[in-house]
Amino acid sequence: MAAHPSSKDNSANSLRKIWFDPNVRALVFQIIVVIGVIGFFYYIISNALFNLEQRGITTGFGFMNQTAGFGIIQSLVEYDESHTFGRTFVVGLLNTILISILGIIFATILGFIMGVARLSSNWLISKVATVYIETMRNIPLLLQIFFWYFAVLRALPSPRQSAHIGEAVFLNVRGLYMPSPVMEAGSNIVVFAFIAAIIGSFIIAKWAKKRQMATGQPFPVFSVSAGLIVLLPLLAFFVMGMPISLDYPALKGFNFQGGMVVIPELAALLVALTTYTAAFIAEIVRSGILAVSKGQSEAAESLGLTRTQALKLVIIPQAMRVIIPPLTSQYLNLTKNSSLATAIGYPDLVSVFMGTTLNQTGQAIEVIALTMAVYLTISITTSILMNIYNKKMALVER
């Protein structure tokens, strides 16, 4: 008579089946990894808190309300030595955002120009673009920053021997001095008119595109938009009695007073970030254009389009679907590379907050955590915006 399997054998078989189930094993391994990660961070945090307590260092963000006591050479908001460390954080953050936005704009423009130029049928233009791209891509960014700051801008004349355009613009070793606008009563109307003109230009561009798709007739969007952006604020300016005047810089003592100044640290960093990142963007643009089928160019020529029209209306719109993903990476790299500003003293977040503020307060954990959170937030925001634009440019299947 055959023996019946025992209950222990059944339990063992059931456990074996459960263990060898891929879904169960995946869940178990995930739980183990999560527990390990939580344990690791718990150990790190508890160890840090213990060491801080042993050294008598307080934790928390109370230091943000303490008086900073040091000056900053560039601030987009009101700031002096009497403000708090919280204000230094804001100043550094705004300076980081400023250099990132300006760098992205100029690098994109220069990168597209160089990318198209490298594919030019003109031998000289193509070779000049090639030399630029290969040179800039293969020189470390930090060396380029040092070159523009020490070799170029530090060689400019002193304030008394400034190069100048009339009595309005002055260039010297301390920066580029220009007239600054002085806003008086009624100037807000002019600003609102300018904003309304920009919004109106986007609306006109959208309407013109729909009109061209429906009728095939182009509309002079650029001319109309440019006229609107110039004439509407100008009309508001005169109607409100010219409420905006200019404050001109003037040499008083050993330096210029009044007006606005572009400090050499900002100029050197912006030029270096722009030229360096533009070289990579140029290659992205070139590869995107080459990814478009040659038949598209031939079809555009058969329709009577010039090479410029074909590039603008046929090639570039299709190439953008290839260009946008790697272009996003270059924008993120530019933002993170802006932290090299501390090497020449540009007051970005790393220099002002993670440098001077950290040295004066000793709150290393809080300062570094806030700085990391800022760069993470900027990078994620940039990625989200570019992903939205990428979806807008993607092919829509019928």
The amino acid sitting at 369 is A
Residues in the chain: 398
Q: How many Cβ atoms are within 10 Å of 68's Cβ, its own excluded?
A: 23
DSSP 106: H
pLDDT at residue 398, as a whole number: 47
The amino acid sitting at 319 is A
Question: From the CA atom positions of the chain, what is the Rg in Å?
Answer: 29
Q: How many Cβ atoms are within 10 Å of 141's Cβ, its own excluded?
A: 18
Per the CB < 8 A criterion, the answer to whether 271 and 208 are in contact is no
pLDDT at residue 270, as a whole number: 95
List the pLDDT tens digit at each of the 398 positions of the chain.
445 555 666 666 676 777 677 887 788 889 999 999 999 989 988 887 787 777 777 777 888 899 998 999 899 899 989 999 999 999 999 999 999 999 999 999 999 999 999 998 899 999 999 999 999 999 999 999 999 999 999 889 988 888 888 888 999 999 999 998 888 888 899 999 999 999 999 999 889 888 888 887 878 888 889 999 999 999 998 988 888 888 889 888 888 888 889 999 999 999 999 999 999 999 999 999 998 888 888 788 888 878 888 888 888 888 888 899 999 999 999 999 999 999 999 999 999 998 899 888 888 888 998 999 999 999 999 999 999 988 888 765 44
pLDDT at residue 1, as a whole number: 46
DSSP string, 269-315: HHHHHHHHHHHHHHHHHHHHHHHS-HHHHHHHHHTT--HHHHIIIII
To the nearest 10°, the Cα dihedral for 33, 38, 40, 41?
140
- By C-alpha distance, which of 324, 300, 322 is closest to 311? 300
Instruction: Give the span between the Cα atoms of 144 and 132, in whole angstroms.
Output: 13
Instruction: Give the span between the Cα atoms of 252 and 173, in whole angstroms.
Output: 16
- By C-alpha distance, which of 389, 392, 398, 394 is closest to 104? 389
- By C-alpha distance, which of 197, 334, 177, 338 is closest to 262? 177
pLDDT at residue 168, as a whole number: 87
Contacts of residues 357-365 at CB distance under 8 Å and 24 or more positions apart, as own/partner, are: 357/68, 357/85, 357/88, 357/89, 360/68, 360/69, 360/70, 360/85, 361/63, 361/66, 361/85, 362/57, 363/57, 363/59, 363/61, 363/63, 365/48, 365/52, 365/59
Per the CB < 8 A criterion, the answer to whether 346 and 265 are in contact is yes
- Counting Cβ atoms within 10 Å, is residue 147 exposed (0-12), middle (13-18) or buried (19+)? middle
